[in-house]
Structure 1
Amino acid sequence: MSKLISAVGLTLDTAYQNISDQEMSQLIEMAITKGAFQKRDSLFAGKNINQSENRAALHPALRNVSGDAMLVDGVDVMPLVKGVWQRIEGFCNQLIGITDVICLGIGGSDWGPRLVCDALHQINPQDGKAIRLHFVANVDSAELATALSKAQPRSTRVIITSKTFTTLETIRNAQTVINWLKANQVSASQVKKCLIGVTANPTAAEEFGIAPENIYPFWDWVGGRFSVWSAVGFPIAIKYGFKTFKEFLSGAHAMDQHFVSAPAAENMPLILALTLIHNQQKHQITAKAIVPYAHALRFLPEWLQQLEMESHGKSVTNDGSSCDPTSPVVFGSAGSNSQHSYFQMLHQGNQIIPVDFIAIKEPMSDLPEAKEHHQSLIANCLAQAQALANGSKEEFAYDSCPGGRPSNLIWVDRLDAYHLGALLALYEHRALCLGAIWNLNSFDQPGVELGKKLAKPIQSALKGDNPTLDGIDSITASRIKWLNT
């Protein structure tokens, strides 16, 4: 069985996983038995695979550049998707006079566009328009203050992205930005004009004060961490043009087609998922590192942390039984920086932690020395994978490296919007396969919702509106009292 799988300008090399052909055949049989391809087919058919919320998860429709019908509850959603594309393109053709766009969102409403916009800027800054993008997610006022200090209020647009339009951090930040605009003599009518809402709850956005013509919808069948392909990706189109945004969608769509049509042994998302399952079975791994040897992909590990751990950070299956193991801890950062932080643990630590190395075949700048820099970068990437796999035996035991540390290598032909879209879609579909194998719902996050629920009475108490501290346990209550003294 080949250790190399190529599709959509990406190549997955699993040679250092040390998985025999027989083992891989057994893994594939297990995945099919557990319904990985059945879950895939249900995804593309628009079935309610988000069981707990009783709705579909049809994010592939958002990048379906073929325009072929895709159904939810028997209704083709592509006219809705195309309508949003047309509105985004129209907006991008009318950007004269805009200097700054403040992008407010958190989680899935932030990481996707932040990652893509940063990656495209790092690859070729001159490709983007002169408009400055300011991403703000944290409710910590320091992040927002930094963005506001750089923006020009009279030529700023504000994109407020929230699926429900009730997200505490995003709405608090939005209210402060509105106050900032007014404090800088922007009239009420001008404020209304500059606010843009991206949401699956247009009614709430309108009640907040967003003009209906400035509301760009997505839908309840779009999970937040799978939403960068929707109007959530609006900042990408604003900064780099609608054509580039469409190229991003096209790369993801091409990976969709590969996932749907490739046989199991050549199906890149499935095989990538099965390397993790193999490492759980063989090495009982509890963590996984994502290391892109590309500064432009520095935010990829954070995006993947949400995709992996919010989707599968669970211990109870769809049928209510316990499940162990599920998602490992996901961490990572850009190589070669990462070699000088946690790679010591990867080589000699007690835990075996598999790595996904991601490398770009072409240099990523136009500096005269770019080729030499890139050769050094790739040499480091290949050397680390080799060292992890083979180890070394030295005179003193503390100098020796045990080896036997598995890794994947994902080659990307070149880093641009198209291949970035394909890479993100690859990991999305890998997550779907893992969810099927573990029998988990990859599209809900009840643990996240619990924290949001508990924050409300605490915030009221901190404001003095909940003096009896209802809904707050004794330890948290004592902490609130300490803060208020």
Structure 2
Amino acid sequence: MPLPKINPTTTAAWKKLEAHFSETEQLHMATLFAEDASRVSKMKIEWEDFYLDFSKNRVTHETMELLLELAEEVQLKTAIEAQYNGEHINETEDRAVLHTALRDFDSMKPEVKKGLQQMQDFSEKIISTTYKGYTGKPITDIVNIGIGGSHLGPEMVTEALSFYKNELNVHYISNVDGDHVHEVLKKISPETTLFIVVSKSFTTQETRTNATTVRNWFVEKASEKAISKHFVAVSSNHKAVKKFGITTENIFPMWDWVGGRFSLWSAVGLSICCSIGYKHFEDLLKGAHKMDTHFRTAQFSENMPVVLALLSVWYNNFFKCQTAAIIPYTQYLKKFVDYLQQAVMESNGKCVDRNGDLISYETGMILWGNTGTNAQHAFFQLLHQGTKLVPCDFIAFRESLYGATDHQNKLLANCFAQTEALLQGSGDEAVDSHKYFKGNRPSNTLLIHKVTPESLGKLIALYEHKIFVQGVILNIFSYDQWGVELGKRTAIETLAAIANNEVSAIKNVSTKGLLQKKNEFR
């Protein structure tokens, strides 16, 4: 059964929300808190080691009830079951969307079990140093070569769980910028480095170019024969991988029903597995599965991904907020926003609905942010006093992993104080106008016990499901990315003109001018 195809603006709930918004737009959250002493207890969700406070939002209890009505009216529950049951909800590519199956140990697909076993066996050989390079030396460095979902997720998780890492050095090559590739090569030795080439098709231009450059560097310093000891691939194109020189036993699987930006849970996460060990990698998956179960079974009013998605739709379509900020109060999550930018904007940056009609309402928001407290000394001025309303998600952890209590107390004090200041403002219109803050700036606060593989798995899955709910409500297909494909095709045509010095072959006058200017420096 395909996803429901309901234009949200045609629903009764949407029309009620429009009327409700006109009545409540100017309400100040400080007033709502003053009028209801139990507001926090009514606008929080506690689940395992996660505590979500969404009381600092420009919503009333009626707002939340109407948003929940909207979720029911667009048949969200039906859509959730369609995804979990393996229906081909990615209709434009005729694919199922089953990244949740990668972490379901209760009813795991045989091919997923086999893939995890292969990852465990391989990573344990690398970590224990029983796996040797072509000169008999153990592996000391791992280089992941990929782009997009084959890079952002693994790099983010490796960074986030660096507290748990072993002695292996892990590097990531993604950008087709040759200078970046050579900077990485400067740091490693061919004798002790393992390269993981991650590409489902094994034809992605950036990944193939980088892998070929690395291969040439390696062969020059070692030999063609040594490739089998130092290169592995995560791909579904076995023929192309073998032609590259990688042996069958060093090919890890990718499946058609797993999209790139949701694939870190699979062999795409091999670099994670090598960095933190299989046990921690499995804990990451199990944490995500716990969130999967919460999402599938919890009532919508007590469902973290659903509530966060509904609030996002509220700000995007009624307050007309164009952007949202993610502020993690831990340096471990410094790459989390980069990861979410792809997950959110590639998924829901669509202008055509599931019926094939052009959309007249807002879909994907622009996502940005940085870690606290760094962000406070960068863009928080705009959040507090700027002319733009930017809903924020604050993510904080109760405990420091190194037991740095004084640091953690100050970190949390800043996090909580910022959400309070965004809410309250200066509270006095009589002060110097340059020091006036009107407040009424919305935020969610997610408080988690501490950074662990399991809690990180839960957190990533939380945002995955939020993306899905937004897509269902907005009546778009969240799991294709045709805009990315358009850019790729155009780049291929332009590359041919650059490589052959055929400026005349370019039709666009601006691009032609840029190529002509480039050639002036030859």
1-side partners of 2:218 and 2:350: how far apart?
42
2:513 to 464, 478, 481: 478
SS at match of 2:445: strand
SS in 2 for 1:93: helix
- How many pairs align? 467
Q: Does 1:304 align with 2:340?
A: yes
SS of equivalent residue, structure 1 residue 94: helix
Partner of 1:233: 269
1:72-117 per-position Cα deviation (integer Å, ceiling 9, x unaligned): xxxxxx1000000010111022111001111111111101110110
Corresponding residue of 2:122:
91
Pairing partner for 2:175 from 120, 138, 149 = 138
The one-letter code sitting in structure 1 at the alignment partner of 2:95 is: R
The AA in structure 2 aligned to 1:340 is H
CA distance in 1, matches of 2:237, 2:47: 37
Instruction: Report matched runs for 1:66-105 at 5 Å.
Output: 66=106, 68=107, 78-95=109-126, 96=129, 97-105=138-146
Return the match for 1:389 from 415, 423, 431. 423
- Tell me the CA shift for residue 200 of structure 1: 2.9
One-letter amino acid of the structure 2 residue matched with residue 408 of structure 1:
N
State how far apart, in whole Å, the 1-side matches of 2:388 and 2:76 are. Answer: 29
Whether 1:190 aligns to 2:226 is yes
Q: Work out whether 1:284 is the aligned partner of 2:320.
A: yes
User: Which one of the candidate residues 357, 365, 381 is aligned to 2:402?
Assistant: 365
> What is the root-mean-square deviation of aligned Cα atoms in Å?
1.4
Distance 2:124 2:112 in 1: 19
Q: How does 1:59-458 map to 2 (within 5 A)?
A: 59-66=99-106, 68=107, 78-95=109-126, 96=129, 97-121=138-162, 124=163, 127-184=164-221, 186-323=222-359, 324-366=361-403, 370-392=404-426, 393=428, 395-458=431-494
Helix, strand or coil for the counterpart of 2:42? coil
Residues 387-431 of structure 1: CA deviation (Å, up to 9, x unaligned): 111101252222101111000001111111000000000000000
**Residue 194 of structure 1: how far off its partner (Å):** 1.3
Gaps of 5+ in 1: 70-77
Contact 2:227 2:246 in 1 (8 A): no
Aligned partner letter, 1:89? Q
Equivalent AA in structure 1 for residue 206 of structure 2: E
Shift of residue 471, structure 1, vs aligned partner: 5.9
For residues 115-142 of structure 1, the C-alpha deviation after alignment (integer angstroms, 9 at most, x for no partner) is: 1101111xx2xx3221111111111122
Shift of 1:438: 0.5
Contact 1:102 1:158 in 2 (8 A): yes
User: Share of identical aligned residues, percent?
Assistant: 38
Say whether the 8 Å CA contact 1:39–1:432 is kept in structure 2: no
TM superposition score normalised by structure 1: 0.94
Deviation at residue 468 of structure 1 after TM alignment: 6.4
Runs of 4 or more above 6 Å deviation: none
Secondary structure at the counterpart of residue 17 of structure 1? coil
Distance 2:143 2:82 in 1: 37
Q: Match of 1:208, as an amino acid?
A: F
- Secondary structure of the residue aligned to 1:31 is helix
Tell me the residue number matched to 2:134: none
Of structures 1 and 2, the larger Rg is shown by 2
Are 2:67 and 1:27 aligned? yes
Cα distance in 1, alignment partners of residues 157 and 176 from structure 2: 22
| Conserved? CA contact 1:8–1:254, under 8 Å | no
